[in-house]
Amino acid sequence: MNSLDALRRMVASYPGGRTALAARMGKSDEVLRKELSGASAHHKMGLADAEEIAAMCHEVGSPEAHALGTVFSFKAGMLTLPVIDMAKGRLCLSTTTADAVREAADVLLAVTRSKADGNVSDNDKRDVLREIGEAVVALQAVAVALVAEHAKDNKGRQEQA
C-alpha cells in the first residue's frame, strides 16, 4: 500500500466521505476524486492537501487515520520514517523482501508518471520522493527481518561455542 492508497482509505472512512472532505477543503467532489485517483495528469494530490486530509480524518477519530499513520511527511527537506517495532510481531524475511521489491517498483512507476508529460512538477518531485521514502522503509524492514532470522538460525551454533 502506498500513501495515496492510505489516503483513499482515510477519505472513505471519513463521515460523509469524499464529498464532505471536498466541501471542507473548498474543492468540488469531482476535483478531489480526480486527485485521489492518481490517474489524472492535470489533477494531482499535493502534499499540503494530503496532510490536511490526514489531519481532518485524525480529528474525527478515523480508525484508518490512526492505523495508517505511516503516511510520510516532507518538511524542510526532512523525511520522517516510522520506527519498525518488532514487538508487534516477527517480520518474515520473504514477505518483507517482496514488499521491498513492490515499493521499488512503485518508485519506478512514480518516476515514469512524473516524466510522462515531459515536465517534472513540484508535485511529481514530492511523489517520487515519497515513494523513495516508502522503499527505504521497506528495505529497513528487510534488514530487521534478516538480522532476526539470522539470530534465530544461529542461536544453536552460538550456544554450542
Are 59 and 86 in a shared domain? no
Measured distance CA(1)–CA(92) in Å, rounded: 17
pLDDT at 99: 92
Nearest Cα residue to 51 out of 16, 75, 78: 75
Q: Residues 48-54: what's their mean pLDDT?
A: 82
Whether the Cβ atoms of residue 47 and residue 61 lie closer than 8 Å to each other = no
Instruction: Give 30's contacts (C-beta < 8 A, 6+ positions apart).
Output: none
Nearest Cα residue to 18 out of 45, 47, 40, 41: 45
| Domain final position from 24, 51, 71 | 71
Least confident of 43-47, 96-100, 113-117: 43-47
104 pLDDT band, cuts 50/70/90, is: very high
Residues 7-35: pLDDT tens digits?
888 888 888 889 999 999 999 999 999 98
pLDDT at 105: 95
Are 47 and 101 in a shared domain? no
| Inter-CA distances, 157 with 90, 102, 146, Å | 21, 34, 17
Q: Residues 57-72: what's their mean pLDDT?
A: 60
pLDDT at 66: 52
Structure pTM? 0.46
Is pLDDT above 90 for 58?
no
Domain that holds residue 25: 3-71
Is pLDDT above 60 for 124?
yes
Q: Strands (DSSP E) along 15-129, which ranges?
A: 74-75, 78-79
User: What's the total number of domains in the chain?
Assistant: 2
Are 64 and 83 in a shared domain? no
Measured distance CA(43)–CA(4) in Å, rounded: 13
| Domain final position from 16, 47, 71 | 71
